[in-house]
Amino acid sequence: MADPSVASFRGESEDGGRRSYVYLVVLLFAASIYLGTLISPPFLMDDVDSVQAQMARHMLTSGDWVTAWIDGLRYVEKAPLPYWAMAVSYRLFGPHDWAARLPIAL
């Protein structure tokens, strides 16, 4: 039988196996949540993301690539480069929420 003082010196304990099992379960649970959001991310719930995506969609459908419009009002406070990138992404991949996020992520 091993001396308890030697086991505690090595970092071993009777409860060590159970603790590592709990850590493994927590790690697998966190990894499954993370990978689940990669496969199916949430929709454009933020008002800023959805407004930008709407402006890009309007640029693509109307053909007016110079002025951003939202709800019939001109939106000239910001540069149009992000909206152009989203509109090009829409043209390439279709009007999906991930296509609106792709240019910003890149």
Inter-CA distances, 54 with 7, 58, 78, 83, Å: 63, 6, 15, 9
Instruction: For the chain, give the percent of residues with pLDDT over 70.
Output: 78
Q: Mean pLDDT score of the chain, rounded to an integer?
A: 80
* Identity of the residue numbered 31: A
- Residue 20 or 15, more confident: 20
pTM for this structure?
0.57
> Are residues 76 and 100 located together in one domain of the fold?
yes
pLDDT of the residue at 68: 87
Domain count, the chain: 2
Give residue 66's domain range.
47-105
Mean pLDDT, residues 6-31 taken together: 75
> Are residues 29 and 59 located together in one domain of the fold?
no
> Are residues 15 and 62 located together in one domain of the fold?
no
> Are residues 53 and 100 located together in one domain of the fold?
yes
Beta bridge partners of 74: 69
- CA–CA distance, 69 with 88 (Å, rounded to integer): 17
> Are residues 54 and 89 located together in one domain of the fold?
yes
